[in-house]
Amino acid sequence: MEVRRIRPGEFEAYREVRLRALRLAPYAFGTTLEEAASRSDDEWRAFSDRLATSTETAGFIVDRGEGVPGGLVSVRLLVEPGDVPSDAEVNQMWVDEDLRGGPWADALLDAVEGFARAIGVRRLTLWVTEGNRRAFRVYERHGYTPTGVTEPFPRGGIETQLGKALT
């Protein structure tokens, strides 16, 4: 197994792991399974290819071998066109249940942090839903701390923003 950036043309693997994450952990994501499942192949292909090739966003998967995904994370710049990329946001973080407790969540975060550093990002943020203690512990282990910003979560409860300075 390895963690690697999504490759152009891998929209089916990306879609597979994203829909599985939304089905098994709907409490953790702003997008619903119904919204994501209704997207066309062309929409999945376009978004996946952007995660594979863009310098403003990137997606990484845990590849179980032969392109079978076991986890996912993405990162996107939080800048206006022409601005210097100083902040980025981590999104879609999820790992299959049988891979939790191992190195894979850490490796996914290392991958997005490496991408962000390489393009000059100085600070990463992410959102974690209230009660998702396991995810919070993973982020805390990587140096993410609450920023003091919270928001109502679309399906109830609160989500908390965490941040980390990249050096």
Q: For 101-141, write each residue's pLDDT tens digit.
A: 889 999 999 999 999 999 889 999 999 998 899 999 999 99
What residue ranges in the chain does DSSP mark as E strands? 2-5, 57-63, 69-77, 87-95, 123-129, 145-152, 158-165
Confidence band, pLDDT 50/70/90 cuts, at residue 81: low
Tell me the two tokens of residue 160. 């908390």
Tell me the two tokens of residue 129. 């839903």
> Residue 94 in contact with residue 72, Cβ under 8 Å?
yes
- Bridge-based pairing state of the strands 57-63 and 158-165: unpaired
- Tens digit of each residue's pLDDT (9 = 90 or more) over 18-49: 999 999 988 888 899 999 999 999 999 999 99
Q: What is the CATH number of the domain that holds 62?
A: 3.40.630.30
Tell me the two tokens of residue 136. 């919070």
- Give CA–CA dist 89/40, Å, rounded: 25
How many domains would you assign to the chain?
Answer: 1
pTM passes above 0.85: yes
Q: At what angle do helices 11-24 and 41-53 cross, to 10 degrees?
A: 100
- Bridge-based pairing state of the strands 123-129 and 87-95: parallel
> What pLDDT, on the 0 to 100 scale, is given for residue 85?
64
Residues spanned by the domain of 139: 2-165
